[in-house]
Structure 1
Amino acid sequence: MVSEYLPLLAQGAGLSLCVMLLALVLAVVLGLINAVIKLFGPPWLRWLSIGYTTLVRGIPELVIMLLLFFGGEMLVNGLLSVFGIGPVRFNTFISGVLAIGFVFGAYYTETFRGAFQTVEHGQLEAAVAYGMRPGQVFRRVMLPQMLSFAIPGINNNWLGLMKASALVSILGLEDMVWLAEQAGRATQKPFLFYFLVAVIYMVITALSGWLFNRLARRYALYSSTAREVSS
């Protein structure tokens, strides 16, 4: 019976990885946008960004996920009932991705904001003197330089996001944690399946560490080259 559940567990692992990667993309996009707003946006947008990061980082991921999923579903159905529209059910996959991306977007905001502030102003002034427009300065100088400082924080937040992705099983998504629980109950071997899930997470962690180390070396070389050119 154990062997019958292994292909299902592999499918669940693929689903969990999709949740992680899509949530990562959303979190990075939110983090970049909010970091730019915090540094260069108008005051009212800065206050909204500060409120977002402060509120989200002060509440556990599970609580936010339950609030967005169940609370959001109740709110939407309450509004739809006014127009006589029947109840709707939120998609657990999309809800999990949005909730995790929303939460870790706040963490990536602070990571990117600190990395932007670390970029040397001399390089920005040299780019402006060279004739670059503000958009070009941001895209060609500031963004690559920022990434060389942000990669360790990106890696740390990714590890937190990866572990938080296991919470989507509470919403009913049939990821590898949910399937491991079901398989453990059916075979009376819960430790075995949870151990396999732990091994899968460790493999993802090891591969992620290798990838981020390569990225760190690459952007460190880019950063040092940029400094030599600007000097």
Structure 2
Amino acid sequence: MADDQMIAGEHMIFDLHGFGPALLAGTLMTIKLALSALCLGLVLGLLGALAKTSAHKPLQWLGGTYSTLVRGIPELLWVLLIYFGTVNMMRSLGEAIGVEGLELSAFAAGTIALGLCFGSYATEVFRGAILAIPRGHREAGQALGLSKGRTFWRIILPQMWRIALPGLGNLFMILMKDTALVSVIGLEELMRRSQIAVTSSKEPFTFFLVAAFIYLGLTVVAMTAMYFIERRASRGFVRSA
């Protein structure tokens, strides 16, 4: 009798009412969205940092405006603005090229919105890393006859990555959790799949708890990956120290 009650209790705890594959698909979509936004955000962050550290005032203004403007507006609003704000623009573009019903997908809108937000914060991380590199390193590159581009690529960039990695890792943890915001525009990532399962099963605690553990697991995996990346990036620095 006790064994039957234990089995029944375990069944109640782990019964996902057939939504297990849906949650797995949502998890994969979350990972895909986070990595896509990360790639876009790294490019925007690096460009923003180069603009803010440039000797040209217009570039400094452009980089500062980007980071201030994007960071001053909540991520959720960026998701909504980009998704709904491009409706008329995409419709007009579709009419111009003869394609009916042209629209920006929820995945593309989420990638752009989260990438913009990640890039605005990454701009400051990259900027701090660039400023932390001694000026003598640039002068050494010039003394060796390297152009400014090759000096940046061969001397500044490798050191900048090592310094910026801890900050970028923290931003990626935030980015992974912010993917849940894209559920408001219908993208079926983990949070959206969990909400659908809750609506069908009327068991919010079960599915939101499962989603919480999945997010926690993704965070642990990302932290482990960042540890090995930082360790590899610091190999030569550790030996010299």
Common fold, TM-score beyond 0.5?
yes
Note the C-alpha offset of 1:212. Answer: 1.3
The one-letter amino acid of 2:33's match is V
2:119 is the counterpart of 1:97: no
Moved more, 71-80 or 5-14: 71-80
Q: Deviations over 1:110-148 (max 9, x none)?
A: 110110000112222222223322222111110111111
Change (3 A) 1:84 1:136: closer
What corresponds to 1:54 in structure 2? Answer: 68
2:144 is the counterpart of 1:130: yes
Identical residues among aligned pairs (%): 36
2:193 is the counterpart of 1:182: no
Instruction: List runs of 5+ in structure 1 lacking aligned partners.
Output: none
2:233 is the counterpart of 1:219: yes
Aligned length: 227
Note the C-alpha offset of 1:2. Answer: 2.3
What corresponds to 1:159 in structure 2? Answer: 173
The 5 Å alignment of 1:58-69 reads 58-69=72-83
Change (3 A) 1:207 1:82: closer
Using the alignment, how far apart are the partners of 1:160 and 1:152 within structure 2? 13
Using the alignment, how far apart are the partners of 2:95 and 2:144 within structure 1? 60
What corresponds to 1:107 in structure 2? Answer: 121
1:19 to 8, 33, 37: 33
The one-letter amino acid of 1:167's match is L
Using the alignment, how far apart are the partners of 1:83 and 1:206 within structure 2? 46
Q: Deviations over 1:74-125 (max 9, x none)?
A: 3443676799975533211111111110111111111101100001122222
Note the C-alpha offset of 1:190. Answer: 1.6
The one-letter amino acid of 2:75's match is E
Q: Could you tell me whether the CA contact under 8 Å between 1:23 and 1:100 is conserved in 2?
A: yes
1:74 to 76, 85, 88: 88
Q: Could you tell me whether the CA contact under 8 Å between 1:148 and 1:223 is conserved in 2?
A: no
TM-align CA RMSD: 2.2
1:172 to 181, 186, 211: 186
Using the alignment, how far apart are the partners of 2:190 and 2:79 within structure 1? 18
Instruction: List runs of 5+ in structure 2 lacking aligned partners.
Output: 1-14
Using the alignment, how far apart are the partners of 2:229 and 2:40 within structure 1? 20
Q: Rg larger in 1 or in 2? A: 2
Using the alignment, how far apart are the partners of 1:4 and 1:85 within structure 2? 39
Moved more, 124-133 or 8-17: 124-133
Note the C-alpha offset of 1:18. Answer: 0.1
* Structure 1 length-normalised TM: 0.90
Using the alignment, how far apart are the partners of 1:216 and 1:176 within structure 2? 28
Q: Deviations over 1:201-221 (max 9, x none)?
A: 111111111121222222223
Q: Deviations over 1:150-207 (max 9, x none)?
A: 0111011111111111111111011111111111111111211111111111111111
* Structure 2 length-normalised TM: 0.86
Using the alignment, how far apart are the partners of 2:99 and 2:151 within structure 1? 50
Q: Could you tell me whether the CA contact under 8 Å between 1:16 and 1:175 is conserved in 2?
A: yes
Q: Could you tell me whether the CA contact under 8 Å between 2:17 and 2:201 is conserved in 1?
A: no
2:58 to 32, 44, 55: 44
Change (3 A) 1:210 1:178: same
